[in-house]
Amino acid sequence: MNSEIAQHQQLPNLLGLLSSLFFFFGSLLFLPAFASYATVGVWCFVMGSLIMFIIYVMSMKNTGKKRV
């Protein structure tokens, strides 16, 4: 049962890491040295936000499942 819970948590954890990377690299693209890539930075923030929303929806879906 614990292995099932651990496997169930892997996807949100990986998505959280991916989202953090999008936010990190997106914020770097707003530095003056990379100003010409600011649009890419905005899209990184949008993708990071979308992934965070997916994690939220997944957690809400899992909250409704029966608990043992």
pTM of the model: 0.77
Spatial CA neighbour of 49 closest among 14, 30, 31, 23 = 23
What's the whole-number mean pLDDT along residues 45-67? 87
| Residue given tokens 């990377």 in the structure block | 21
Q: In this model, does residue 61 exceed pLDDT 60?
A: yes
- Joined together, the tokens standing for residue 20 give 């953090």
pLDDT band at 1 (very low <50, low <70, confident <90, very high): low
How far apart CA 65 and CA 49 sit, in angstroms, is 25
CB 62, CB 15: distance < 8 Å: no
Spatial CA neighbour of 26 closest among 49, 45, 53 = 45
pLDDT, position 19: 96
Interval 8-49: pLDDT, tens = 678 889 999 999 999 999 999 999 999 999 999 999 999 999
